[in-house]
Structure 1
Amino acid sequence: MSTSNQFLLRLQRNRKGDRMWHNDALPEFGVLSGLKVVHASSSLAGPLGPTIFSEYGADVVWIENADAPDYTRTLHNIQPESERRNQRAMGIRLRSPEGRQLVLDLIKDADVFIESSKGGQFDRLDLSDETLWEVNPKLVIAHISGYGQTGVEDYVKRGGFDATAQAFSGYMWENTNGGATPPYAVGPYVADYITALWTGLAVLAAVRKADETGVGDSLDIAQFELMMRASIFSVDYFTFHKEFPKTGEKSMIAGWGGFPCKDGRILYCCFTGAGVLKKCCDLFGLEYGSELFPAGVSLYNITTESGQAFEKAVVDWLSERTVDEAERACLDAGLPVSKVNSWEDVENNEHVKARGTITEWETVKGTKLRAVGPLPKFKKHPARVWRPAPSFGENNEEIMHELGYTDEQIQEYYDKGVINKDFDLKLSR
């Protein structure tokens, strides 16, 4: 049977309710309708992938530590309200035998399990890959950590965050203004978002193979490795030991970067390509096809005489115009530019409004939220936000009833601290 047919059969079985835990309130929608995902992750790199799956229609259960809910619930912003939407939540003490069994009960009926912790943490919890596969051989498992599950033990045991991944990987090494500033982390949270998106891609590829073979896989996802892969400079260094000048936010390409206009606003210009450079010369009054600006050249290197002359012409031309005037003139000339928009600019932009990029929903407390909606946009099976992010342990009883636990057993688990909800969070916002 083909992989696509196996996948369809699994989705049909899930939709009929033939599997154990199932969210009856979940509407059927999206390209991942029928996929069942469990994740025990916190912060951003781990939970974002499952959130995207849930926006595509997957049934997602989020496990938090019963003793210490996800610390992002106490941040100064409301990140979790957007990055945990469409999910149900359980607060489980994973170190207890009963909590471990609860996880296994969930895993038995899942397609995907994602966790984010220090390397080897789930082995220490007696929830190794082999243990999970004994319960569910088709399970796709993803371990997200700063330094991976294997290698030098000292590194495997280290905690990791977005900035440490950028620092360790060499990615941060490229981000300094020609030595004028120390290397800096690119924000906000580039490493976390890259990790989440790459994990989502790999997980779905593994699900496809599991449907084909009946055998699940385990993904060892080290944040630092993905940041190494995300740098265009690593191949030059590892092949030739060649390092490029550290330009920070500036580029080695003349006319590429953010330039101030008369009103102090910034226009970001991407002037590269033979056709673009000809249009630039026409707009800025330069002699295209001359010795200084020869025809057919795709870019002017900032270190050359041509590059420095071109860069000066761009700076002088922009300094005489407001950002709106400059942007309009450049766009009319067919040049790739954009002013650096504030959030206010983005919110009020006619194109953003026309595409419906910002969506609105209510939190569990009834507060209205507005944020970027599910992306990208599917024509036939659109993604959606159908429920808010859950409160801590909000769905303990609901899911445990689906797993076959009685009211008495559930109350006993609360009394013993195996499960928890409504944690007294001291919010800083």
Structure 2
Amino acid sequence: MANPLLSGIRVLDLTRLLPGPFCSFYLAQMGAEVIKLEEPQGGDYARMLAPELFTLVNRGKKSVALDLRQLEAVAVLKKMVAQADVLIESFRPGVMDKLGCGYQELKLINPRLVYAALTGYGQTGPYKDRAGHDMNYCAYAGLLDQTGAVDGAPALSNFQSADLAGGALTCALGILAAVIGARASGQGSMVDVGMLDGTLALQALSLATIRTLGESRARGSDMLSGALANYSIYVCADGKHVAMAALEPKFFLNFCQAVGRPDLAAMPLAPGPDGAVLRTALGSLFKTRSRDEWELLLADRDCCVSGIYTPQEALDNPQVKARGLIWMEDGKPVADLPIKFSDAPGAGGACPALGADTASVLAQLGLDQAAVAALSATGAI
């Protein structure tokens, strides 16, 4: 059973690699018809660079081969736009205008079109034409400076927060808002999302610290990044780690009672030197048991202590299994849509081969076999 929530919404996806395809993947999993437009020669770069990643973020879509450097292909795109609700692109600003299919041109064809441009730095500003990747956006947004241990160097995460949270999910939210607006008013809009913008906006705690102190704290020393002994990471007897997030006093008191150490509750819960005694005591305590032993002891004690799992271990977590977050495809894990709707399952669907749906989509536009053959001869499809 397909997810019906976005049924009837047609999305043209011109994006590549990770942020844009992840954005349209969520729309596809919620029932939208997503038509992925790819260059006939090779398609999305991720097909070759990271085929398993490509498979994960392009399930449930259709693939149409279309070379927008050809005038004939641009004409086909415009026919598709007339029947579409959304177009997503991730070219640098101005590229679509040069191809003859920028927002101002396309909205004349379809005034209800929602045109989403997902770029590194947005459509305006001195950085708008710069190249970039997730690390660059995190660096400029101040996120990378805050990632890592106190007195250590900035640390890279294997979660692409700018690409996925600042970019893809922010863009999906903007698209859905614009689609609702278009349905109400009959007028679409351009959704301009810069991944730097989205990443900066997500840094609520850092911004709150600046509002409070007039400046940011050093890496590893803000309230939720290492300043507090009761909100920190500790090594266990087996060399694995636990995450202690007993932020509220009631949770920390539950922990102290569970481990038979009421004396810990009397130590200052404070950042800096005042909390050093508690941090040292907790460090010694956690080294007396293995990670799994701590989990077994504290699982039902309501104290916000959890084992730190590897990504592979996370797949076998009983909570993950109970929620049906991962399912297997040819023996390989696939992440299901993480949003649960009543009576609306995830759409699923296979990852399309390059150009697999070209003929059927063009037929829906009214192009006969002779017209399709002519386009193929020119290299437009």
Q: Secondary structure at the match of 1:47?
A: helix
Q: Secondary structure at the match of 1:156?
A: coil
1:269 aligns with 2:237: no
Query: CA contact under 8 A between 1:36 and 1:110: conserved in structure 2?
Result: yes
- 246, 263, 270: which one aligns with 1:301: 270
- Cα offset, 1:48, TM superposition: 1.0
The one-character-per-residue Cα deviations of 1:142-199 (angstroms, maximum 9, x if unpaired) are 10111111122xx211122211111122221212433432x23332312111111111
Q: Distance in 2 between matches of 1:344 and 1:184?
A: 21
- Cα offset, 1:382, TM superposition: 1.8
What are the within-5 Å matches in structure 2 for residues 243-282 of structure 1?
243-247=216-220, 251-282=226-257
Q: Secondary structure at the match of 2:227?
A: coil
Query: CA contact under 8 A between 1:120 and 1:156: conserved in structure 2?
Result: no
Aligned to 2:302: 334
Q: Distance in 2 between matches of 1:280 and 1:146?
A: 44
Aligned to 2:352: 390
Query: CA contact under 8 A between 2:150 and 2:226: conserved in structure 1?
Result: no
Query: CA contact under 8 A between 2:256 and 2:265: conserved in structure 1?
Result: no
What are the within-5 Å matches in structure 2 for residues 8-23 of structure 1?
none
Q: Secondary structure at the match of 2:155?
A: coil
- Cα offset, 1:36, TM superposition: 1.0
Aligned to 1:177: 149
Sequence identity (%): 24
- 43, 46, 49: which one aligns with 1:75: 49
User: In structure 2, what residue type is equivalent to 1:406?
Assistant: D
What are the within-5 Å matches in structure 2 for residues 122-133 of structure 1?
122-133=96-107
- Cα offset, 1:99, TM superposition: 0.9
Q: Distance in 1 between matches of 2:265 and 2:307?
A: 29
Query: CA contact under 8 A between 2:2 and 2:344: conserved in structure 1?
Result: no
Q: Secondary structure at the match of 1:218?
A: strand
Q: Secondary structure at the match of 2:251?
A: helix
- Cα offset, 1:289, TM superposition: 6.8
Q: Distance in 2 between matches of 1:151 and 1:212?
A: 32
The one-character-per-residue Cα deviations of 1:232-286 (angstroms, maximum 9, x if unpaired) are 2135437864120211895111122221111111111102102112223333513
What are the within-5 Å matches in structure 2 for residues 368-383 of structure 1?
369-383=332-346
- 162, 167, 192: which one aligns with 2:163: 192
Query: CA contact under 8 A between 2:111 and 2:188: conserved in structure 1?
Result: yes
Moved more, 248-257 or 31-40: 248-257
- Cα offset, 1:77, TM superposition: 5.3
Q: Distance in 2 between matches of 1:52 and 1:267?
A: 32
Q: Secondary structure at the match of 1:414?
A: helix
Q: Distance in 2 between matches of 1:216 and 1:287?
A: 62
Distance 1:123-1:179 versus aligned 2 partners, 3 A rule: farther
Q: Secondary structure at the match of 1:201?
A: helix
Aligned to 1:24: none
Distance 1:164-1:336 versus aligned 2 partners, 3 A rule: same
Aligned to 1:39: 13
What are the within-5 Å matches in structure 2 for residues 201-350 of structure 1?
201-231=173-203, 232-237=205-210, 241-247=214-220, 251-282=226-257, 283=259, 285-287=261-263, 290=266, 292-293=267-268, 300-305=269-274, 307-350=275-318
Q: Secondary structure at the match of 1:46?
A: helix
User: In structure 1, what residue type is equivalent to 2:271?
Assistant: I
Q: Which runs of 5+ in 1 are unaligned?
A: 1-26, 294-299, 362-366, 420-429
Q: Secondary structure at the match of 1:397?
A: helix
What are the within-5 Å matches in structure 2 for residues 40-189 of structure 1?
40-76=14-50, 78-152=52-126, 155-181=127-153, 183-189=154-160
Q: Distance in 1 between matches of 2:265 and 2:380?
A: 75
Q: Secondary structure at the match of 2:19?
A: coil
Moved more, 46-55 or 245-254: 245-254
User: In structure 1, what residue type is equivalent to 2:273?
Assistant: T
User: In structure 2, what residue type is equivalent to 1:199?
Assistant: C
The one-character-per-residue Cα deviations of 1:301-341 (angstroms, maximum 9, x if unpaired) are 33132x11221222111101111111222223221121111
- Cα offset, 1:89, TM superposition: 0.6
Aligned to 2:362: 400
- Cα offset, 1:106, TM superposition: 1.0
CA RMSD of aligned residues (A): 2.1
Q: Distance in 1 between matches of 2:369 and 2:215?
A: 65
Q: Distance in 2 between matches of 1:29 and 1:348?
A: 26
- Cα offset, 1:287, TM superposition: 3.0
Query: CA contact under 8 A between 1:69 and 1:392: conserved in structure 2?
Result: yes
Q: Which runs of 5+ in 2 are unaligned?
A: none
Query: CA contact under 8 A between 1:169 and 1:227: conserved in structure 2?
Result: yes
Aligned to 1:13: none
Aligned positions, number: 376
User: In structure 2, what residue type is equivalent to 1:285?
Assistant: R
The one-character-per-residue Cα deviations of 1:188-239 (angstroms, maximum 9, x if unpaired) are 3121111111111111011111111100010111111111111121354378
- Normalised to the residue count of structure 1, the TM-score between the two structures is 0.82
Query: CA contact under 8 A between 1:327 and 1:338: conserved in structure 2?
Result: yes
- Cα offset, 1:76, TM superposition: 4.5
Q: Distance in 2 between matches of 1:219 and 1:173?
A: 29
Distance 1:239-1:221 versus aligned 2 partners, 3 A rule: farther
